[in-house]
Structure 1
Amino acid sequence: MTAELMRGAPVAAALTERAAARAAALEERGVRPTLAIVRVGERADDLSYERGALKRCERVGVDVRRVTLPADCGQGDLLAALGDVAAEASVHGILLFRPLPAGLDETSACAAIPPEKDVDCAGDASLLGVLAGRPRGFAPCTAEAAIQVLDHYGVELEGARACVVGRSLVIGRPVAALLTARNATVTLCHTRTRDLAAECRRADVLVVAAGRPGTVGADAVRAGQAVVDVGINWDEAASRLVGDVDADAVAPIVDKITPVPGGVGAVTTAVLATHVVESAERSVRAR
C-alpha cells in the first residue's frame, strides 16, 4: 500500500478562496490589501517565486508593488527603499528576497521591516514573536505552509508526537514552535542527531527540512506516520527535483506524505497572500 499524497494544490486553492473572500470584504471598506516585493538583482529563483506570488496575489485580490534594485546597489539605497514602503500606510506587507548579494548587510535590512508588515518573518522581532508564541508579525510562509498541509489532510496535532529534522531559523525552529503552539510534543533534530532514524520513528508527525537529499529513508519511518518533506534539491543523476526524504523508499511504509515537487512549496504563496490580507485587516481594526 502506498501513502496518501498530501498535494499542495488543493490546500493552496482552499487558502486562496478564503483569503479572496476576506480581501473582498476589505475592499468594500475602501481598503485594498497591498504587498511590496523588494528584490535586489535578478536571481532566477527570486524571479520564479516572484512570478508565482504575483499570480497568487492577483487571484486573492492583493495588489503588488515591485521595488527592484540592481545587484550592486549600496546598503543605503536598500535601506531607503525599505524605509519608503515601511512608511506607506497603503502597504500592508513587505517581502524582501533573500539571500542578498554579497556586500549587503541582511540583518539590518530585515530589521528595517516593521514586524506588523513582515509577512515572511524576515526580522528578529518577528521570529522572536513566533518562538515565544506572541507574534506581532507572521510566521515564515514555508513553515506555516507545512502546518496548513497537515490541517487540510486531517492530521491530528493535538497531543501528537512530532519530530522536526532541521534547525534553521527559516523553517526548522519556526515549524517546531508552531507545532508546540498546537499542543504537539516536539523533538527538534538535525543531521548530527545521534540515531536520527530512531528519533524519527517515534514520531506521529515527521517534518523534514534538513536541506540534504536522502536524510530520511525507510529505516527512519513506520506505519501510520504523516511525513512533510520541505526539502527542494536537484538530483543531477536523475535530472529531477527531490526532497530531503527518499520518497520511493518511504511512501510504501507511511500513511501520508507530501510529494516533491507539488507539496509544501505549492502552498507558500497562498500563505503569503493570506498574511497580507490579515495585515490589512489588522490595520483596519487599529484605526
Structure 2
Amino acid sequence: MMRGTVGVVAWHGTTLRKTLHSFSAPSSSAFLGPNLPDVWVARDHTSLPSHFPETLQWENGHNAVILDGKSIAKQIKLKVADEIRRMKSGIGKFPRLAVVLVGDRRDSHTFIQVKLKACDQVGIETVVVQLPKKCTESELLDVVSSYNDKTDVHGIILQLPLPQHLDEEKIINVVSPEKDVDGFHPSNIGNLVIRGRKPFFVPCAPKGCIELLLKHGVEIKGKRAVIIGRSKIAGLPTSFLLQRHHATVSMLHAYTKNPEQITCEADIVVADVGIPNIVRGNWLKKGVVVIDMGANQVKDPSGHGFCVSGDVCFEEAVKVASAITPVPGGMGPVTISMLLSNTLDSAKRAFGMIRNFE
C-alpha cells in the first residue's frame, strides 16, 4: 500500500472546492484524470467528485464502483472505426446513416449533434433531413420511404419524440427493418421477444445496458432485476434482453403499487422514467447494481443554463449501491456507440461482408 492524498470536491456543477486528506490506495492505482485516484474517499454527498474515479469509497467503508460508460464507448468506437477503415481500403465502401428530424426541440437537436459527431469520428457518413414541426404525415412518410429505397443508405434513424399530430408508430413501421438501426420496428422488437429468434437490430440503449453490465463483470443470470418504466426505446426492450440473459425481471410503471418495496428486493435496478431523481436511496437494497437511463435537462443549480440529471438520485444511491452509472458519462456514451455498431453491421450485411469482419 502507498500513501497519497485525495481531493474532496464539492458537488456544485463544475465548481471545485478542494480539501486534502490522506488515503490508502493500492500501488497500482490508476489515475483517470488530473489528480483523480482510482479510489475516492467521500465524507457525504456534498463531497462527490465532478469527474468520476473508478470507485467511490465512503468513510464508513462502503465502496461503490462507478460504471464508466465513456471507457467502454471508446473501446467500441475504436473497433468500429478500425473496421470501417478496413472496409474502405478493401472494397472502397463505407456506412451511411440517414437522420430524420422534425421540428425544433432543443433536446432533439442536442442528441442529433452528439450522434453526428460520433459518426464523423468513426467514418460513418451522415445525411440529415430536417422537416418543419407542422409538416404533414404524408411528407414525413415520403422522406422515410425514400431512404428505404436508397442502396447507399444503410441505416435510418427517426429522432423521437415527434410532434403530437404525427402517428409515431405508423412512421416507425415504414422504416425498413433491415435499416432500422434504432431497433424500434415491430419485427425487430418481436424477434427480440421470441426466444430463439434474432432481430436485425437490438435497440441501442438496452443493448448498451447489457454491454455495460457484462464488461464490468456483473452477474445477470439468476438475479432479480427491476425495470422502472416501460418505454419502447429503453425500459421494455431492456426487460426482454435481461430475460434472455436469464434474469428474473419485474416491470414497474405508473400503475404499480408500492414501487419502493418492489425495487428494494432487486439485485439490478434499471431506471427509465424521465423524471429527475425519482429513485431515492431508500428504494435500494445494499449492494444493488444501478443503471440510470435518465437524461433529463434541468436548470443548473448555479442558476446558469441547464444540466443533465438522471432518474436516480446519485448522491443517495451511491451510498448503497455496489455499482452505479453516473449521469452524464454512464449510459449515454454506450448508447451512442451501439448506434455506430448497428450502422456498421447494417453496412456489412448490405455488402455481404459480415463474416469477413467478425
TM-score, length-scaled by structure 2 = 0.75
1:18 aligns with 2:85: no
Partner of 1:253: 320
Distance 1:80 1:192 in 2: 38
Flag the structure with higher helix content: 1
Partner of 1:226: 289
**Tell me, what secondary structure is at the counterpart of 2:344?**
helix
| Offset of residue 107 of structure 1 | 2.1
Q: Deviations over 1:6-58 (max 9, x none)?
A: 12211210110121222223322333111110112222112111111111111
Residue identity matched to 1:163 = V
**Tell me, what secondary structure is at the counterpart of 1:261?**
coil
Matches within 5 A, 1:4-83: 4-27=65-88, 28-83=90-145
| Structure possessing the higher radius of gyration over alpha carbons | 2
Contact 1:164 1:209 (8 Å CA) reproduced: yes
Residue identity matched to 2:325 = T
Partner of 2:338: 271
Partner of 1:102: 164
Structure 1 residues 171 and 16: CA distance shift in structure 2, 3 A? same
Q: Which has the higher contact order (CA 8 A, sep 6+)?
A: 1
Q: Deviations over 1:162-203 (max 9, x none)?
A: 111111222111000011112222122224323322322222
Contact 1:165 1:191 (8 Å CA) reproduced: no
Distance 1:195 1:104 in 2: 35
| Offset of residue 87 of structure 1 | 0.5
Distance 1:81 1:192 in 2: 38
| Offset of residue 139 of structure 1 | 2.1
Contact 1:191 1:210 (8 Å CA) reproduced: no
Contact 1:16 1:60 (8 Å CA) reproduced: yes
Residue identity matched to 1:70 = P
Matches within 5 A, 1:163-242: 163-236=226-299, 238=301, 240-242=307-309
| Offset of residue 63 of structure 1 | 1.0
Distance 1:234 1:136 in 2: 32
**Tell me, what secondary structure is at the counterpart of 2:130?**
strand
**Tell me, what secondary structure is at the counterpart of 2:172?**
helix
**Which blocks of at least 5 consecutive residues in structure 1 are unaligned?**
none
| Offset of residue 235 of structure 1 | 4.3
Contact 2:227 2:252 (8 Å CA) reproduced: yes
Distance 2:257 2:118 in 1: 41
RMSD: 2.0
Residue identity matched to 2:183 = C
Q: How many residues align?
A: 287
Residue identity matched to 1:3 = A
Contact 1:3 1:252 (8 Å CA) reproduced: yes
Structure 2 residue corresponding to 1:3, chosen from 39, 64, 84:
64
**Tell me, what secondary structure is at the counterpart of 1:192?**
coil
Distance 1:4 1:214 in 2: 20
Distance 2:235 2:139 in 1: 32
**Tell me, what secondary structure is at the counterpart of 1:266?**
helix
| Offset of residue 138 of structure 1 | 1.6
**Tell me, what secondary structure is at the counterpart of 1:150?**
helix
Residue identity matched to 2:200 = G
For structure 1, which segment, 86-95 or 20-29, has the greater mean C-alpha deviation from structure 2 after superposition? 20-29
**Tell me, what secondary structure is at the counterpart of 1:67?**
strand
**Which blocks of at least 5 consecutive residues in structure 2 are unaligned?**
1-61
| Offset of residue 137 of structure 1 | 2.9
Matches within 5 A, 1:134-149: 134-149=197-212
Percentage identity across paired residues of the two chains: 32
Distance 1:188 1:102 in 2: 26
Distance 1:163 1:139 in 2: 20
Flag the structure with higher strand content: 2
Contact 2:189 2:199 (8 Å CA) reproduced: no
**Tell me, what secondary structure is at the counterpart of 1:285?**
coil
Distance 1:47 1:217 in 2: 30
Residue identity matched to 1:54 = L
Residue identity matched to 2:202 = A
| Offset of residue 222 of structure 1 | 2.1
Residue identity matched to 1:159 = G
